[in-house]
Amino acid sequence: MLIKKMKEEYEIDLLDAKDKSAYRYIDEECLHIPVYKVELSFETSTAMYRDVYLIDGNTGEMLHKAKRPLWEDPFNFSEPIEAEYLRMKEDTDNEPIEKEDNLQSRDEDDKDDEIEI
């Protein structure tokens, strides 16, 4: 399932092991679910990096993607990708929601812009 998903959705061939690694484990510290961590190493003109994909091991949903320096230990990042995912998810969940009256007044403003034919 993971091999097919990565190939179809991200054009990443996990069967070609060059510059790639994949781990499956149960994250007991942050998410409390089975996850896959897929890493792809690449080089730019200035440095070497790895893209790290965090994938839900139950559903196959990509939870998070991060870019990390290649020299960082993948099991000891400055911030584990699982914690980074939760922090970013929390930040998104806590974004202010527009009040209904603001939306209503915006709809009324849009009516003024309508052209009758």
**Confidence at residue 115, expressed as pLDDT on a 0 to 100 scale:** 41
**Confidence at residue 54, expressed as pLDDT on a 0 to 100 scale:** 93
**Confidence at residue 81, expressed as pLDDT on a 0 to 100 scale:** 83
**64-93 burial by CB neighbour count: b if 16+ within 10 A, else e?**
bebebeeeeeeeebeebbbebbeeeeeeee
**Confidence at residue 110, expressed as pLDDT on a 0 to 100 scale:** 47
Residue range(s) defining the domain that contains residue 67: 2-96
Residue 110 lies in a domain: no
**Confidence at residue 80, expressed as pLDDT on a 0 to 100 scale:** 81
Which residues of the chain fall below pLDDT 50?
99-117
Residue 92 lies in a domain: yes
pLDDT in tens, 8-32: 988 888 888 788 888 899 998 888 9
**Confidence at residue 34, expressed as pLDDT on a 0 to 100 scale:** 93
**Confidence at residue 14, expressed as pLDDT on a 0 to 100 scale:** 84
**Confidence at residue 64, expressed as pLDDT on a 0 to 100 scale:** 92
Residue 102 lies in a domain: no
3-class SS shares of the chain: helix, strand, coil, % to 5: 30, 30, 40
Nearest to 25 by CA among 78, 66, 75, 79: 75
Residue 66 lies in a domain: yes
Residue 24 lies in a domain: yes
**Confidence at residue 76, expressed as pLDDT on a 0 to 100 scale:** 63
* 74-83, long-range: CB < 8 A, 24+ apart: 74/21, 74/37, 74/39, 74/50, 80/29, 80/30, 81/37, 81/52, 81/54, 82/27, 82/29, 82/30, 82/31, 82/35, 82/54, 83/30
Q: What global pTM score does this model have?
A: 0.68
Residue 107 lies in a domain: no
Nearest to 27 by CA among 2, 62, 68, 55: 55
User: What total of structural domains would you count in the chain?
Assistant: 1
Residue 48 lies in a domain: yes
Residue 111 lies in a domain: no
